[in-house]
């Protein structure tokens, strides 16, 4: 996770091969894939040293198709963590002085020096909160010390996931016990996907409990401001036979659901059912909206089940004659 780099300000004419060539010429060969989007790209480095070298050598210094490229750690705004990396620190700067500088902006939990082959020092700093890291980042960027100007970037951190899992999975175990549900965290789906799927299995009430605890945990760890409206995406499996009922005639039920809960409900119309004859309904909305929508959908599923038990298919068709 640590060494994924974002390359920005690229001309639309740039190809993945151009980037490979350019990095190769600078003795920074790219082994992994180059994920090229329009105007930017992502590349991976196996270790932090290479990543630092690439940022130092290329960012703001190299022109490609008439545009000067930016290179930095790839960190989505969502996952901006409590960790920052400060580079270009004069080699003779004393630790006490550096500590004093860092402490002006908040509680420093950890400072580790990264052993690089650069003349100047590089440190990774962890602040107690994301807010402090952000302030330190802004205030210290370009901070002049003698003739050295600090260069700073955020370090990506699987922190949201880490906060939920806890040390060696302790939180997850505790949460699962508390909720009476099984909780697993899926690996990230791709190199630039910052979200991870949390898979909760168990009775509906246990699932709600687990979701509530996970949401609470993220809030506690300051992953979002209290004022920020955080949208969660929940996927729930429903029997494919009831998907039609959730949609309703002409989409009536789904529209009512959306209006009632203010969550977006996406019911697959042509999804192939899985081996248990179930399809996935996606619910997107803030926590309470999401919970209400899930409850309503489960009620519909229950009603269909009860009707099917009362009137098995054969009987139902005879009655309607």
Tell whether 147 and 187 lie within a shared domain.
no
Picking from 120, 154, 188, the residue at the C-terminal end of a domain is 154
**318 lies in a domain?**
no
Tell whether 68 and 93 lie within a shared domain.
no
Tell whether 202 and 289 lie within a shared domain.
yes
Across 127-140, average pLDDT: 90
Q: What is the pLDDT of residues 65-120, one digit of tens each?
A: 999 999 998 876 666 778 899 999 998 889 899 999 999 999 998 898 888 888 89
Q: What is the pLDDT of residues 174-199, one digit of tens each?
A: 778 878 888 777 766 665 555 667 88
Tell whether 247 and 299 lie within a shared domain.
yes
Tell whether 109 and 247 lie within a shared domain.
no
Tell whether 227 and 206 lie within a shared domain.
yes
CA 223 to chain centre: 11
**319 lies in a domain?**
no
- Cα–Cα dist 96/100, whole Å: 6
Asked if the model's pLDDT at residue 122 lies above 70, the reply is yes
Tell whether 119 and 148 lie within a shared domain.
yes
Going from the C-alpha of 74 to that of each of 1, 41, 42, 245, 291, the distances in angstroms are 9, 10, 7, 43, 32
Tell whether 192 and 66 lie within a shared domain.
no
Tell whether 170 and 258 lie within a shared domain.
yes
Return the number of other C-beta atoms located less than 10 Å from residue 238's C-beta: 20
Q: Residue 99, SS3?
A: helix
At 312 the pLDDT is 65
Tell whether 120 and 139 lie within a shared domain.
yes
**229 lies in a domain?**
yes
Share of the chain above pLDDT 70, in %: 83
- Cα–Cα dist 106/102, whole Å: 7
Residue 247 sits in a domain of what CATH number? Answer: 3.30.310.210
**175 lies in a domain?**
yes
Picking from 26, 58, 73, the residue at the C-terminal end of a domain is 73
- Cα–Cα dist 104/218, whole Å: 26
Q: Could you tell me the residue range of the domain that residue 103 belongs to?
A: 77-154
Return the number of other C-beta atoms located less than 10 Å from residue 73's C-beta: 21
Tell whether 135 and 217 lie within a shared domain.
no
Picking from 37, 58, 73, the residue at the C-terminal end of a domain is 73
Q: What is the pTM assigned to this prediction?
A: 0.49
Contact between 222 and 129 under an 8 Å Cβ cutoff? The reply is yes
Q: How many domains does the chain have?
A: 3
């Amino acid at each position: 996770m640590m060494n994924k780099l974002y390359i920005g300000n690229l001309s639309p004419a740039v190809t993945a091969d151009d980037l490979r060539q350019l990095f190769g010429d600078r003795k920074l060969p790219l082994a992994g894939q180059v994920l090229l989007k329009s105007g930017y790209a992502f590349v991976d480095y196996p270790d932090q040293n290479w990543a630092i070298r690439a940022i130092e050598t290329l960012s703001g210094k190299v022109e490609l198709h008439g545009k000067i490229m930016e290179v930095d750690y790839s960190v989505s705004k969502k996952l901006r963590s409590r960790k920052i990396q400060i580079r270009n620190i004069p080699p003779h700067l004393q630790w006490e002085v550096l500590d004093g500088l860092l402490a002006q902006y908040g509680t420093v939990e950890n400072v580790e020096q990264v052993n690089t082959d650069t003349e100047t020092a590089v440190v990774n700093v962890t602040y107690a909160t994301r807010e402090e890291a952000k302030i330190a980042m802004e205030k210290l960027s370009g901070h002049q010390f003698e003739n050295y100007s600090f260069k700073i970037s955020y370090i990506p951190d699987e922190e949201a996931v880490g906060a939920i899992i806890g040390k060696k999975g302790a939180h997850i175990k505790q949460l699962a016990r508390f909720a009476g549900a099984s909780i697993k965290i899926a690996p990230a789906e791709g190199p630039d996907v910052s979200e991870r799927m949390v898979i909760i299995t168990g009775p509906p009430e246990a699932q709600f409990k687990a979701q509530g605890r996970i949401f609470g945990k993220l809030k506690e760890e300051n992953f979002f401001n209290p004022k920020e409206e955080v949208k969660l995406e929940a996927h729930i499996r429903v029997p494919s036979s009831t998907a039609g009922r959730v949609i309703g005639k002409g989409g009536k039920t789904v529209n009512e659901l959306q209006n009632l809960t203010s969550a977006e409900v996406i019911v697959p119309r042509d999804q192939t059912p899985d081996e248990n004859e179930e399809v996935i309904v996606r619910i997107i909305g803030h926590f309470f909206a999401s919970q209400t929508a899930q409850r309503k959908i489960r009620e519909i599923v229950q009603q269909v089940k009860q009707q099917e038990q009362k009137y098995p298919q054969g009987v139902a068709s005879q009655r309607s004659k």
